[in-house]
Amino acid sequence: MKLANARHPLRFLAALAAAAFALHGAVAAPAVGVAGGRGAATPESTRVATEQPDPAQIEAGKQKLARAHAAVVGIEATAVEDARSVATLGKSRQGSGVLIGDDGLVLTIGYLILEAERVDVVLSGSRRVPARVVAYDLATGFGLVQALAPLPIQAAPLGISERIGSEEPLLVASGGDQGDLSLARMVSRRAFSGYWEYHIEGALFTAPARTDHSGAALFNSDGELVGIGSLIVSDALGRDAPSVRGNMFVPVDLLKPILGEMRSSGASRHSRRAWLGLNCVEYQGAVRVIRLQPDSPAEEAGVRPGDAIVAVDGKPVADLATFYKTLWSNEQPERDVALDIRRGAEIVRLQVHAIDRMKTLSRPQGV
């Protein structure tokens, strides 16, 4: 199936519904053996299933996808004046979100609303509805906002990210004034470690790449939300595979166990963990420091760009995932952490007093 942007949304959704039905029909079509029992699908049965899709089911599939697309909105946010995140994310941010609750609850990627003092939900026709920040979850990267006026759209159902097949056609949708649709395929599913002290399991990597990925929705062929757009990457296939540009989506499977906690507490308990203020990459079998956050625990302890972290609290680390998991294995966020650092030809041990990252975030006055 050709992967292309949608210039005519209804025709595009109909084509996707037809492709999805044909694919599912080919996979699920039973074949009748010579004795009348169920057997392996024959080429003839597969061809019939793919060449003769049911128009009624195609129409039903199109309607599901149209409802899913309608649930995607734009997000516009403005950060507070003294926000740390302004240096990397800018003060004004634009992206997308997806309505997931009948009470105006919108799921987005957290960095769009990080330290925000104003958030608007943008509907079709450029109508803007003020919203309040409900939650920012450091552990998953999800953000929640709630519209302060009723939204004239239906919420999107949540799917199961784990069930996405590599051959299943997926729909990527962004919202707002420049919203767009395109087809994608999942090209890999794996753990992801970000240089900014971030790690998740089961991240979804799709291709081709979309540049309007921030908070974009990833829907399966049944119109169910399975992922929220986070990044554009150059290694969508994986580290040891050929370089392919694509996107990383945070799977909604990570949201379901913590949604209630996010709504009631503003974050999951896993977001309250040790933070050092390091930006690191994996290089030549070591965790290499490339940048320090200003006034961060790591900077105050004397960590320098170029240092290689070889152990945390005496436990060897050689990759980002091990580094983060070791750092977070102690549930006490504010504590002294011993970093063994290779600096030139010597090993230096530094004591870094980690802090709770959530306590460093700026909030609007009075909140």
Name the H helices within 52-183. 55-70, 86-89
**pLDDT for 221-246, tens place per residue?**
999 999 999 999 999 999 889 999 99
Q: Mapping DSSP to helix (H, G, I), strand (E, B) and coil, where does residue 322 land?
A: helix
Arch. (CATH architecture) of 67-271: Beta Barrel (2.40)
Residue 47 confidence (pLDDT) above 80: no
Query: What per-residue confidence (pLDDT) applies to 366?
Result: 44
Where do the domains of the chain lie? 67-271, 272-360
Region 40-51: mean pLDDT is 41
Q: Return the percentage of the chain with pLDDT > 70, whole number.
A: 85
- Non-local CB neighbours of 259 within 8 Å, separated by 6+ positions: none
Q: How many angstroms separate the CA atoms of 138 and 142, rounded?
A: 7
Q: What mean pLDDT value characterizes the chain?
A: 88
In the prediction, which pLDDT does 14 show? 65
Domain 272-360 has CATH 2.30.42.10: yes
- Residue with the bigger pLDDT between 64 and 276: it is 276
**pLDDT for the residue numbered 203:** 98
In angstroms, what is the C-alpha Rg of the chain? 23
Question: Letter for the amino acid at 147?
Answer: A
Report d(CA 162, CA 191) in Å as an integer: 13
Q: State yes or no: pLDDT of 280 exceeds 50.
A: yes
**Residue type at position 92:** S
pLDDT digit string (tens) for 120-163?
999 988 899 999 999 999 999 999 999 999 999 999 999 999 99
Global pTM value: 0.87
Q: What is the pLDDT of residue 34?
A: 30
pLDDT at site 37: 35
Q: Residue 1: what pLDDT?
A: 38
Report pLDDT for 97: 98
Pairing type for strands 72-79 and 181-194 reads: unpaired
| 8 Å CB contact between 114 and 89 | yes
Determine the average pLDDT of the residues in 172-183.
92
**Residue 273, C-beta contacts closer than 8 angstroms, at least 6 positions apart:** 138, 139, 327, 328, 331, 333, 356, 357
pLDDT tens-digit series, residues 286-330: 999 999 999 999 999 999 999 999 999 999 999 999 999 999 999
